[in-house]
Amino acid sequence: MDNIAKQKLYAFLSDLLTEERKSLFDRVIKYRTRHLTVVLENIFQPHNASAVMRSCDLNGIQDIHVIENNNEYTVNPEVAMGSTKWLNIYRYNESGNNT
């Protein structure tokens, strides 16, 4: 889901939220950062990468770049625990060497 879609969803759902819940969302969003990004390349064990994504979400890192030169990454939902829906994940798998 891209940022525009997330903003539209937030605007739609904000009418259904209590003021306390809106305040919580605003506090969490305020601490997100794009000053640091994570790059994962040729992931061999998807559960480890899913754990990295969960940690990124927990620590407010918004952007994750996944380079799939040799191995395609598939999210492990039991490990990621829904964290990937809050992150921007950019996948690079168009050519022989995406690095």
The per-residue DSSP string of 17-37 comes to S-HHHHHHHHHHHHT-BSSS-
24 and 51 co-located in one domain? no
2 and 16 co-located in one domain? yes
pLDDT value of position 38: 94
The amino acid present at 24, given as its one-letter code, is L
63 and 97 co-located in one domain? yes
Quick check: 74 pLDDT over 70?
yes
Listed in sequence order, the residues at least 6 apart from 75 whose beta carbon sits closer than 8 Å to its beta carbon are 46, 50, 53, 84
What share of the chain in percent tops pLDDT 90? 24
pLDDT value of position 67: 93
What share of the chain in percent tops pLDDT 70? 99
- Mean pLDDT score of the chain, rounded to an integer? 86
> Can you give the residue range of the structural domain that contains 84?
33-99
When pLDDT is averaged across residues 51-70 and rounded to a whole number, the result is 91
Whether pTM exceeds 0.85 = no
76 and 54 co-located in one domain? yes
23 and 50 co-located in one domain? no
Report the number of distinct structural domains present in the chain: 2
